[in-house]
Structure 1
Amino acid sequence: MAKTKVLMIGGTGIISTDCSLLALQQPDIDLYLLNRGKTPNFLPPDTKAIHADVNREDDLRQALAGHDFDVCCDFFSYDQAALESKLRALRGHCRHYIFISSIMAYRASEHLLKTEANTPIGNARWTYGWEKSCCEMRLRQECADTGMAFTIVRPGYTYNRVRFFNPWSISHWRSWTLAERLLSGKPYILHDDGMQLCTITHTRDFAKAFVGLFNNPAAVNEDFHITSTTYLTWKRVAEIQAELLGVKPVFHCLPAEKICAVVGYGPAQKVVHCCSHDIYDNSKIRAAVPAFSCTTSFEDGMAESIRFYRDNPAYQQIDPAWAAWFDTLAKYSVSH
């Protein structure tokens, strides 16, 4: 029986690493990664890798020459131009294109429990979400024109051992900045009152649903958000992290509007989005992938993340710009 040939565009990032690891464990999947080979890699050394600049169409064409893929997973298109170059390079060489979008593509909704059907895309409050929604529309048009199958996947708030989970637009690789504030007893900034609910999914659990979409008829020309049923307030998130670090948190609250005024709307867009409850009904993905279940609690997942950072101090990178912003925000905030 022929194996399913799968291309992961990216494959070593926060979400995609666990997807790659799970795919490598499947005897019927022949996995290839396409990236520049620059990101720290937690995959086996014998993983098949194609190195190219994924944002340069000529590089893509040259690197992918002679390859045809059953499934291509695009973790690396953040705007239409980036998606277009990949679609052109892969046109005629990919049967099923899985585009990783985001729940941030959804518009603000009056529904507390959001589904794929009751929440339209087109989030104009955040550039990242808007660009992802534009990519979704472009992919649908491409597949209507060419007959290629597509699936749109919208991850929620995800984390793994590298990402110290938080609501800020800080690089995952420098997310220890938040842990350092807790450990140092510095004020930890909560947007508004920190009581907004978010849906949290460990990337190991996300991967179970994601890999289950390969060669799955229920996935063809469909869209899914892949989320858990773990709903926590942002304040409770920080409380759990502080407990695991063995410290007592010092919370300061600040309206999101003031945060925007201090750091600028660009860096604050994610926090503005987080000022609404983000709760998602995952019944559609569970119906498509019945084996999907979320088994990593937030407490266990964050404990693993903290162990990783403590065992690998070289990863304890601090973002100086955000550290300074947090200090400034603390001056305007109210102790809680």
Structure 2
Amino acid sequence: MSVVRTAVIGLGDFGSLHLDVLSSLPGVEVVALVSRSQARARELAAQYGVPHTFGDADEMLARVPVDSVHVVTEETRHLAPVLAALRAGVDVFLEKPMSHDLAEARLMAAEAERLGRKLMVGHILRFDARCAEVKARIASGEMGRVATVYGRRNMAKSMASQYSHSSRLYTTGIHDVDLVLWYFEGRRPVEVYMKTMAVFGQGDDVFWGLITMDDGSLGVIETSWVLPDATPFRRHILLEVLGTQGAALVEVPAHGLMLWTDQAVVGVDTGYWPRVHGATVGALRDEILYFVTCVQQNRPIEMPRPAEAVAALEVSQALVRSAQEGRPIRLD
């Protein structure tokens, strides 16, 4: 396949980033946009030269031939467009988390396998050069046997209102759940425990979770939405991996670009989706390019496999249940 004809379903902030990346990739033609807001769809279609806009994914799939779609809606609205695309013979890039509901995630993965279609879930940190380097060092044996993985992903408090359609753990903490499972590859999570707080009274906004693996090694998840809005980069991210022969530390924005002005100290994204020479690059571009290449060359999706994305959601959902019930949850 020389040219991949694709559509973007969902045109919020992240959907527009997908569109920007796809529009810059050679061998990709964005032929349709789908949004509940037709004004938004028409605006972006005019900006990027996309010929078709729709308010409904089913109508788009019936009227426009596409090879792939990018589903970038809220996780509570993933199931219908993903199943429709797969059943239309179309490969799917699905933003994480797969769903707010584990049964829906399992259904999507099973349907992709049954139909022989590609389904890639956007766990972007697997394409972050820092996190991927840690994985490479673990795989090489350089760090010995990994004993603990700690992931912190704390956000500015004003961002919480944007993410209230399901547990906020699915928005941020699931990134680190996926890293825990990836770094402990070959081991199985057997128990989880989580405590939460609702600091500002708008739903849970502090999450502390513990994941115990079958050999006793530990993963710790910390995520919150209570940082001051003046925090550089509006978030603080920390990854620490301790092994028997070494340790790894990733911190954002501490190792990135910081700008000092008379008004503020500003952290600038240089890793996830920065703009360089007018184009969106970084881990997001690398992730999307991987999917496009798999579609073009008919290669299987392995980063991550759908089953791995389901596993991350299974652990995350068990963490949420643990907090709700106030007890550790054993995993089958």
Q: The TM-score by the shorter chain falls in which range?
A: 0.3 to 0.5
- TM-score normalised to the size of structure 2? 0.41
